[in-house]
Structure 1
Amino acid sequence: MPNNTRSSVVKLRRKQAPAQQQAPSPVPPEMLPRIGYQLKDGKGHLDLHHDGDEASAIALFTKGLAMPDRGMVLGYLGMVAGYAINDGKIDEDRVNFIVQFVAAMKPKDPAETMMLTQMAAVQYLTMMFASRLGRASELRSCDFYDRTVNKLARTYAAQMQTLKQYRSDGKQKIVVKHVTVNEGGQAIVGDVTHGGGAGGASEEGEATA
């Protein structure tokens, strides 16, 4: 019996090994190059602060932002920079906040990257209007900022729920606790788990005296 147990454990580990090797390792946000922009003649120029060459810097963004190639990385960074333009100047802190937030959330594909980018932008605006609400003195201004903060906060919560559903492939998990008392006073306590997706149901129980 012990020999069979050891054999099954070895097989299980060998099965899991390829999946672990194929899983992408995320890039920590602090490893990403800091992004700088310069506006010249009405055009934005990307400036990546990185010790290596441009190719190695783009490779970090490709991995950290789950982008397939250089073109999508540059297009994405340009889009974020366009959002951060204020009074003809680019707010580099806002650009880097968004990109690092997205990387910290470990996106698995470009769709998640875009969803996380929207979440970061909404969160930034939420805090900005919350700050203005704290400084407002007129009733009309307080009411406007209060409604704006509430709308943004609800939007962020909805985005979080959408991301959660997307990452779970739309499956829902419902756990039902039940207790069955058999003859002789023995109780069986267990969980019944129903998969909301294409999967079936499974039951697990534990006998207690």
Structure 2
Amino acid sequence: MTTSANHNPTASIASNNHAALAASPRVKLSRRRIRIDHPDPRAGARLLADALGAVDRDALDGLLKQLVKASVIGQEPDEANLAFMISMMKSIGPRDSIEAMLAAQMVCVHVAAMRSAFRLACTDDIAQQESLTRALGRLVRIYPAQIEALSRYRDNGERKITVQNLSVQDGGSAFVGNVTQHASVIVSEPGFAKATMDAGPIQAAKAGEGYRRPIDAEQAATA
């Protein structure tokens, strides 16, 4: 049997709630203290917590402090870098604590990868180039894994696969329709018939579309 599958792990990553993102306040650093830029501090904290997926003020403060430490450039927190990281977290749109922590890790890994790339471009030392190349390679491999982890968590651990081509050999059989597989158990949705082919391929581009049996010359003539 030959199948071709499409995986789209990033389909549900970005948040589409642009109004909520625009309403959430910015974060500024004042004498190494975190300040939420909003006329009403409590309302601003609630808006920012909703945007970052923090369940309460303690979770929000913890996330912001960790992001401040990760934003450091030259041993000092960088407000522009922090604003970028928070903006990226908002665009991911975490919906609970697990997604909030994973989104924070994603933006930190991205920032670390960009720093490694910058240092790699600025050094002529062979040993440093090799070390930075290895570090950059590990970081850029981690990021897609984080994206897939977030996507699978949002899909309750299910991986969506679309079968475009299906071939059945002589004496073989296939279910045509929507099929859900868990471990060694295969469940076919009611209403779909089992198609058994003596020879030739089955073409089922879309679920529920059925199959088309090749027509030989005699059938074509009588038709």
User: Does the alignment reach a TM-score above 0.5?
Assistant: yes
1:78 aligns with 2:81: no
1:48 to 2:36 alignment: yes
Q: Which residue of 2 aligns with 1:136?
A: 123
1:81-105 C-alpha deviation (Å, 9 max, x unpaired):
2333455522112222221111101
Name the structure 2 match of 1:37.
29
Partner of 2:10: none
Q: Given that residues 54 and 96 in structure 2 are in contact (C-alpha distance below 8 angstroms), is that contact kept between their aligned partners in structure 1? A: yes
**What's the counterpart of residue 84 of structure 2?**
97
Question: 1:117 is matched by which residue type in structure 2?
Answer: A
Structure 1 residues 171, 207: CA separation in 2 closer, same or farther (over 3 Å shift)? closer
Structure 2 CA distance for partners of 1:153 and 1:108, relative to 1, 3 Å: same
Between the aligned partners of 2:176 and 2:83, the Cα distance in structure 1 is 48
Q: How many residues are aligned here? A: 173
Q: Give 5+ residue unaligned stretches, structure 1.
A: 1-23, 181-188
Query: CA shift at 1:115, angstroms?
Result: 0.3
Gaps of 5+ in 2: 1-15, 169-174, 193-206, 213-223
Q: Distance in 2 between matches of 1:135 and 1:86?
A: 16
> Pick from 41, 44, 65: which aligns with 1:57?
44
Alignment of 1:158-169 (within 5 A): 158-169=145-156
Amino acid at match of 2:124: S
- The structural deviation recorded for 1:138 is 2.4
Cα distance, 1:140 vs structure 2: 1.8
Is contact 2:28-2:79 (8 Å) kept?
Answer: yes
Which digits, 9 at most, give the CA deviation of each residue in 1:115-171, with x for residues without a partner?
Answer: 010010010111111122222222222212211110111111221222122111112
Q: Work out the CA distance in 1 between the residues paired with 2:188 and 2:19.
A: 36
Check 1:70–1:190 CA distance in 2 against 1; reply closer, same or farther (3 A cut): same
Q: Provide the aligned C-alpha RMSD in A.
A: 3.0
Length-normalised TM-score, structure 1: 0.69
**1:1-209 map, 5 Å:** 28-39=20-31, 44-50=32-38, 52-176=39-163, 177-178=165-166, 191-196=177-182, 200-202=187-189, 203=192, 204-206=207-209
Specify the code of the residue in structure 2 equivalent to 1:91: D
**In structure 2, distance between residues paired with 1:57 and 1:157:** 32
* Secondary structure of 2:208 counterpart: strand
CA contact (8 A) 2:177 2:188 kept: no
1:69, distance to aligned residue in structure 2 (A): 2.1
8 Å contact 1:178–1:190 — kept in the other structure?
no
**More strand by proportion, 1 or 2?**
1
Looking at structure 2, the residues matched to 62 and 154 of structure 1 have their Cα atoms a distance apart, in angstroms, of 29
The alpha-carbon distance between structure 1 residues 66 and 199, as it changes in their structure 2 partners (threshold 3 A), is farther
Q: Which has the higher contact order (CA 8 A, sep 6+)?
A: 2
Q: Distance in 1 between matches of 2:33 and 2:50?
A: 22
User: Which is helix-richer, 1 or 2?
Assistant: 1
The code of the aligned residue for 1:64 comes to: A
Task: Return the TM-score normalized by structure 2.
Answer: 0.65
